[in-house]
Amino acid sequence: MNNLLNDPAILRDIILDHYSYPRNKGLKTGDKYKEVHMASESCIDDITVQSVIEDGVIKEINFDGIACTISTASTSMMTELLIDKTIEEAKVIMDNYFSMLDGQAYDAEILEEAVAMKNVYKQANRIKCATIGWNAMKQIVLESESKDE
Amino acid sequence: MNNLLNDPAILRDIILDHYSYPRNKGLKTGDKYKEVHMASESCIDDITVQSVIEDGVIKEINFDGIACTISTASTSMMTELLIDKTIEEAKVIMDNYFSMLDGQAYDAEILEEAVAMKNVYKQANRIKCATIGWNAMKQIVLESESKDE
Amino acid sequence: MFDVNNIRKDFPMIVNNPNLIYFDNSATTYKPYCVLNAVKDFYENKTANVHRGDYDNSFIVSSEFDEARNVVAKFLNCDKNEVVFTSGATHSLNQAAQYGFQYLEKGDVILTTLSEHASNILPWFNVSKKTGATIEYIKQDKEGIIDLESFKKQMNSKVKVVTLAHVSNVLGHINPIKEIAKIVRKFDCILVVDGAQSAPHIKVDVKDLDVDMFAFSSHKMCGPDGIGVLYGKSEILNKLEPLIYGGGSNARFTSDGNILLREIPERFEAGTPNIEGVLGLKKAVEYLMDIGMDNIHNHEVKLKDYMISKLKELDNVTLYNPSADTGIIAFNVKGVFSQDSGSYLNNKKICVRSGHHCAKMVPNLINENDTVRASMYLYNTFEEIDRFIEALSNLNIESALDIFF
Amino acid sequence: MFDVNNIRKDFPMIVNNPNLIYFDNSATTYKPYCVLNAVKDFYENKTANVHRGDYDNSFIVSSEFDEARNVVAKFLNCDKNEVVFTSGATHSLNQAAQYGFQYLEKGDVILTTLSEHASNILPWFNVSKKTGATIEYIKQDKEGIIDLESFKKQMNSKVKVVTLAHVSNVLGHINPIKEIAKIVRKFDCILVVDGAQSAPHIKVDVKDLDVDMFAFSSHKMCGPDGIGVLYGKSEILNKLEPLIYGGGSNARFTSDGNILLREIPERFEAGTPNIEGVLGLKKAVEYLMDIGMDNIHNHEVKLKDYMISKLKELDNVTLYNPSADTGIIAFNVKGVFSQDSGSYLNNKKICVRSGHHCAKMVPNLINENDTVRASMYLYNTFEEIDRFIEALSNLNIESALDIFF
Ligand SMILES: Cc1ncc(COP(=O)(O)O)c(C=O)c1O
Ligand SMILES: Cc1ncc(COP(=O)(O)O)c(C=O)c1O
């Protein structure tokens, strides 16, 4: 594992960077987009994620909404990590991410910058924030699969 | 005070007698009757009392309904005691009766047989039974007065 | 092993009043220490509101609240999102009747029984009044037992709602809900069951029974007051309108009057819930499940059989439901008004209920306006029944007056 | 003499967690020992149902239940029969809105505010949807303050209901209810007041205010969960239909669908009430009245003035209601999302709430989607405010992330 990703100062900077300059923010219009809206009462976050999946590959992910640092940053990281991955690859990454947020073992390598979220599981009330965007994307992936069958 | 009315066995007989052979039971029809229906959730009793009051004198009282020993007997006693009394006399009797049921001082003489109810105040949950018919009559008397004004 | 002496040690009311015989368990039940402790813990260590996790106590309480829903779902064998917390069976049943306001119209029929509790009949009277649907009654014998054959004949395409108690609170029979459901399923009709007297006493599996909605109260099953449950199949809940609107039940609303409701079951739970009630109910359900619903029912059946056999030996007693399936016994002492019997027993430190027990149409069945009801629960004993029978054997119109002298 | 140190000793949550700062009192409040003891006493010494006196405990509990109504009537300065026990403010407000279903029609207007809590706006949205009456909003400035002159202009004969919070749970102003009532009285219109945030904190005299209905919750005023009150003028209650039907609210019913309801207030209290809740609320009200509502309000105003003056000194804080009348303060830390502020404060053992606080139209006023809310009560101290300010002064987007490292 990249040693830099063990340094709290760097991890904090990564979160701040994604929060201040979220990647793939802003929704687009078009029939090709599959969209999931996540709003939970137990946090204020209200996030919409949209994606284009073609031939088993995630071509595009965008998101928008009102959210805290952790939701915004984690969703932004998710978009960067999963774009251009195959569904199979994406599912492995998602599994590892959810394991990390669950306080379980995970492969730090493949989560790349998203390991910045590794301590969130200790703040039980914020786990939802760190997973809201990921859950939206998971739903889109699962729906795309069930349609393919 | 009549000594007989201090003897528990006699008082018990009086109650049983009024319960088994209630006086003035059965309602009559006619415009001249003023009627009050008493039904309370806190006992099962459901009693209707009707009366004719003319020139300040209680000419007639009847009652009917489904009720326990205490309600039936006390109402029956009430009818016997108050018929042919003036409103002023009736009010004095009623005041004394309610005092007795309240555990307060009362004039046993004028309550006659109704002193059989003297211990009911010790069974707090049965005070309602011993006063339901009396309260109905009190209401009729009060209404007759307010109309006279 | 079911050991009533151990069970009695779990209840502060019994520990503090070992000689008081409590036979009014259909009205409400005693609560064990574990339930009191759950409530106490909420007051002393984690008072907070739910649905938000802004700080630790709020998060902890929200998680336990959630967990309570899981526990109730397990108790009923249903999905977590099919468990709606309400303020009690009455509230649950009114929420269920909301279905009638939405989907019933003139010409439709609501089929119910004459032995229903007010809480499961008045909401439907109201539906009838406002929609024009009519109420009809399932045939019952004079003990309140339902005749399935004639029920089958009463069913037709006009019947849109069948609603009845799982166990009547006066007559104590277990109605054949599963068989009724099978008949109902042949029609476009829903089955609503008032479980106020069953959930505390017998194993209830809503999937196996195949009911559409099922209601009960915590306070009748060792839990706190002011909390109850409405189970609803998710298909039904998804098309049911909330009875109460407010905070916590909506995801969004805008000044032009648009409301986006939350998913089921939260959309039915507007306002701050009875959190201590939910945490207490969770403990109560765990307590009952630990002992085992079948063990509880077995114990009650033994008590009931014993009580009935003893009552039958008394010449001065009229028994209205000798074939009762549960620990609910309705009787009168000949010549003694029910309330006088109640007072007499009270003076012998025996708590029973007299009257119509909120089931004011039962007189149509048993031909008696009011009764004395003795209703038992897991902590009652054979010795208590002996004392009760002894007291009754001496009760007559004269001794009923003893308390006044 | 009001002595906050003595008061703190009355609350188990404070005794057990003296360093935990609880500033979420608008959501729910701590409960004093005396309330817990009332509940405990019910569990341990007199568990029984109410409304019947068949045996001693039932009679005792019924009498105390009755007495609780007297205590609440004294608290509000109204008649005993004008006090309806409900499961909470949300239930009370839905019961109040029943008036709308009965008496409003297309063309009528319901006048309310943009700062209402969901529980006082969604029931009226529902009335509007079903009756065709329209909702209009009373003019407020950006702090939520009502302009009486423009309110006067908005009133006309079409307005049939004016409904608003006595104190907003986000913006903390005391609305001029008495003045509003005077204006409303000139029309054939009722005034419904959501007292969830006023009854716990200031003296409320419903006669003096001249409101038609007034709602509040026990849990926000040191009492148990799952219990609340709807005050209604007897003339109004007498023509209001119950929201919930069932046992205890009717005197008679017959199989042909006839119901004879009990008198007010019992007709609104179908089902077994939250008895332990009522007994606990009684104690809570007595506790607050003993201390004195004016003393409580004075203490909170001093705390609020102090907190506002300190917040104004912080460059990194935006304050939304500097002119608040009560201990409810809405703010944000610049550049920090409200929920991040909440978590940061939680890690400093300070409980606040972030979000829209169930008042989802407030953004229309303050132009901010969500806020941090600190809300105080009689047991909060100046030292707690100092610790709160100290924590806030170090809060920024970077330190907000400390909790994750
Ligand atoms: C102003 C206001 N109204 C109504 C309510 C609803 O109260 P409850 O949730 O206790 O029913 C609240 C509290 O959440 C409130 O702050
Ligand atoms: C059969 C039945 N249904 C409904 C109810 C109403 O329950 P609750 O009063 O707890 O709302 C009761 C109890 O009174 C009951 O016995």
The answer to whether the Cα torsion of B119, B125, B129, B134 is positive or negative is positive
Residues of B in contact with D63 (CB under 8 A): 124
Over residues A73-99, the pLDDT tens digits come to 999 999 999 999 999 999 999 999 999
Sign of CA dihedral D78, D80, D86, D87: positive
pLDDT band at A28 (very low <50, low <70, confident <90, very high): very high
Q: Is C345 on the interface with D (CB under 8 A)?
A: yes
- What per-residue confidence (pLDDT) applies to A42? 59
Rg (CA), chain C: 22
Least confident of B60-69, D34-43, D175-184: B60-69
Query: Which pLDDT belongs to residue A2?
Result: 58
3-state secondary structure at position C13:
helix
Domain boundaries, chain B: 4-148
Of A12, A43, A129, the CB nearest to D405: A12
Best of A12, A43, A44 to substitute, by most chain D Cβ atoms within 10 angstroms, is A44
Smallest CA–CA distance, residue C363 to chain B, in Å, is 13
With contact defined as beta carbons under 8 Å apart, do C403 and C395 qualify? no
The model carries a pTM of 0.95
Per-residue pLDDT at C1: 82
Average pLDDT on D111-122 reads 96
Closest residue in C to D342 (Cα) is C54
Q: Indicate the residue of C226, C342, C343 with minimum beta-carbon distance to D277.
A: C226
Contact residues, chain D, for B124 at CB < 8 Å: 53, 59, 63
Q: How far is the alpha carbon of C231 from chain A, nearest alpha carbon, in Å?
A: 22
Could you identify the atom of ligand 1 that is nearest to the CA of residue C272? Answer: 9
The string over A119-146, giving b where at least 16 C-beta atoms fall within 10 Å of a residue's C-beta and e elsewhere, is bbbebebbbbbbbbbbbbbbebbeebee
Determine the pLDDT at residue C34: 98
Whether residue D202 is predicted with pLDDT greater than 80 in this model: the reply is yes
Q: Are the C-beta atoms of D197 and C247 separated by less than 8 Å? A: no
Q: Which domains does chain C have, with CATH numbers?
A: 4-25+292-402 (3.90.1150.10), 35-290 (3.40.640.10)
The count of C-alpha atoms lying within 13 angstroms of the C-alpha of A48, restricted to the half-sphere facing its C-beta, is 11
- State how far Cα C64 lies from the chain centre: 24
Mutate to test the pocket of ligand 2, among D49, D272, D274 (most ligand atoms within 8 A of CB): D272
Interface touch A44/D370, C-beta < 8 Å: yes
Tokens for C396, please give them. Answer: 């007559």
- Choose the closest CB to D251 out of B39, B124, B125: B39
Instruction: Specify the residue with its C-alpha closest to ligand 2, atom 14.
Output: C27
Contact indicator for C332, C291 with CB cutoff of 8 Å? no
User: Is D226:D274 a contact under the CB 8 Å cutoff?
Assistant: yes
Q: Which residues line ligand 2 (CB under 6 A)?
A: C 26, 88-90, 117, 119-120, 165, 169, 194, 196-197, 217, 219, 358; D 247, 271-272
Chain B residues near residue D248 by CB distance under 8 angstroms: 41
User: Which residues, including other chains, have CB under 8 Å from residue C241's CB and lie 6 or more apart?
Assistant: C98, C101, C102
Question: In the block, which residue shows the tokens 């590794």?
Answer: A118
Ligand 1 geometric centre to CA of D217 (Å): 7
Residue A148 burial (CB count, 10 A): 9
Among C179, C224, C215, C213, smallest CA distance to C197 is for C215
- Give pLDDT, residue D368: 86
Ligand 1 binding pocket includes D196 (Cβ within 6 Å): yes
Is it the case that residue A4 has pLDDT exceeding 80?
no
Q: What are phi and psi of C255, to 5 degrees?
A: -65, -15
C326-340 in b/e form (b: 16+ CB < 10 A) is bbbbbbbbeebbbbb
C91 Cα nearest atom in ligand 2 = 11
**Closest-CA distance of chain B to residue D54, Å:** 7
* Residues on chain D touching C340 (C-beta within 8 angstroms): none
Query: Residue D126 — very low, low, confident or very high, per pLDDT cuts 50/70/90?
Result: very high
Sort D125 into a burial class: Cβ within 10 Å, 0-12 / 13-18 / 19+. buried
Quick one: pLDDT band at residue A6, thresholds 50, 70, 90? confident
- Which of chain D's residues have a Cβ under 8 Å away from the Cβ of A70? 340, 404
Query: How far apart are alpha carbons D155 and D159 in whole angstroms?
Result: 6
Per the CB < 8 A criterion, the answer to whether C359 and C116 are in contact is: yes
Three-state DSSP class for D334?
coil
CA of A100, closest CA in chain D: separation in Å? 14
- What is the distance between the alpha carbons of residues D87 and C398, in angstroms, rounded to a whole number? 45
Express each pLDDT in D92-111 by its tens digit: 999 999 999 999 999 999 99
DSSP letter string, D51-112: S--SSHHHHHHHHHHHHHHHHHHHHHTS-GGGEEEESSHHHHHHHHHHHHHHH--TT-EEEE
Distance CA C189, CA D255 (A): 22
Strand residues in C218-327 grouped as ranges (E): 228-232, 250-253, 259-261, 317-319
pLDDT value at residue B18 = 97
Interface C:D, Cβ pairs < 8 A: 295
Confidence at residue D69, expressed as pLDDT on a 0 to 100 scale: 98
- Atom of ligand 2 minimally distant from the CA of C90: 11
Is A1 part of the contact surface with chain D (CB cutoff 8 Å)? no
C183 touches C155 (CB < 8 A): yes
- C211/chain D closest Cα distance in angstroms: 21
Neighbours of D79 (CB within 10 A): 15
Tokens of C74: 């397990």
Do A and B have ≥3 inter-chain CB pairs under 8 A?
no
Tell me the CA–centroid distance for residue D15 and ligand 2, in Å: 39
- Inspect the interface and report whether the beta carbons of C56 and A125 lie closer than 8 Å: yes
Residue whose Cα lies nearest atom 14 of ligand 1: it is D27
> What are the two backbone dihedrals, phi and then psi, of residue D245, each rounded to the nearest 5 degrees?
-110, 150
Neighbours of D134 (CB within 10 A): 15
Nearest to A125 among C53, C252, C266 (CB): C53
Q: CATH second-level architecture of B4-148?
A: Alpha-Beta Complex (3.90)
Taking the C-alpha atoms of residue C297 and residue C198, their distance in angstroms, rounded to an integer, is 10
Q: What is the structure's pLDDT at C363? A: 86
The tokens for A79 are: 């978009």
Ligand 1 pocket check for D269: Cβ under 6 Å: no
Of A15, A19, A68, the CB nearest to D339: A68
pLDDT at B43: 61
The residue type of C337 is F
Length of chain A: 149
Contact call for D337 and A11, based on CB within 8 A: no
Nearest-10 crossing angle of helices B87-101, B69-82: 150
Selected residue of C225, C269, C369 to mutate for chain D interface (largest D Cβ count, 10 A): C225
Chains A and D, touching by 3 or more CB pairs within 8 angstroms: yes
**C9 interfaces chain D, CB cutoff of 8 Å:** no
Strand order in the sheet with A46-54: A34-39, A46-54, A57-66
Instruction: Tell the burial category of B140 from Cβ atoms under 10 Å away from its Cβ (0-12, 13-18, 19+).
Output: buried
Residues of C in contact with A125 (CB under 8 A): 53-56, 58-59
Half-sphere exposure in the Cβ direction for C220 (13 Å, CA): 28
Residue with tokens 């064990």: C32
- Selection from A135, A87, A81, A75 nearest residue A107 by Cα: A81
Enclosing H/E stretch for D134: strand D134-137
Ligand nearest to the CA of C144: 2
Helix (H, G, I), strand (E, B) or coil at B35: strand
Q: What is the band of D236 on the pLDDT scale with cuts at 50, 70, 90?
A: very high
Of C59, C63, C251, the CB nearest to A41: C251
Q: Which of D202, D225, D287, D267 is nearest to D87 (CA)?
A: D225
Rounded to whole angstroms, the Cα distance separating B91 from B105 reads 16
Ligand nearest to the CA of D94: 1
Low-confidence residues in chain C, pLDDT < 50: none
- Is the ipTM higher than 0.85? The answer is yes
Q: What is the pLDDT along chain B (149 residues), one digit of tens a residue?
A: 457 778 889 999 999 999 999 999 999 999 999 999 987 665 677 899 999 999 999 999 999 998 899 999 999 999 999 999 999 999 999 999 999 999 999 999 999 999 999 999 999 889 999 999 999 999 999 999 877 65
Q: What is the pLDDT of residue B45?
A: 78
Cβ separation of A68 and D404 shorter than 8 Å?
Answer: no
Q: Sort out which chain C residues have CB atoms less than 8 A from A126's CB and list them.
A: 53
Q: Is the dihedral of CA C58, C61, C67, C71 positive or negative?
A: negative
Average pLDDT, chain D: 96
Distance from CA of D86 to the nearest CA of C (A): 9
* C358 belongs to the catalytic site: yes
How far apart, in whole angstroms, are the C-alpha atoms of residue C77 and residue D35?
Answer: 36
Q: Reply yes or no on whether the pLDDT at A149 is more than 60.
A: no
Is the Cβ atom of D26 under 6 angstroms away from ligand 1? yes
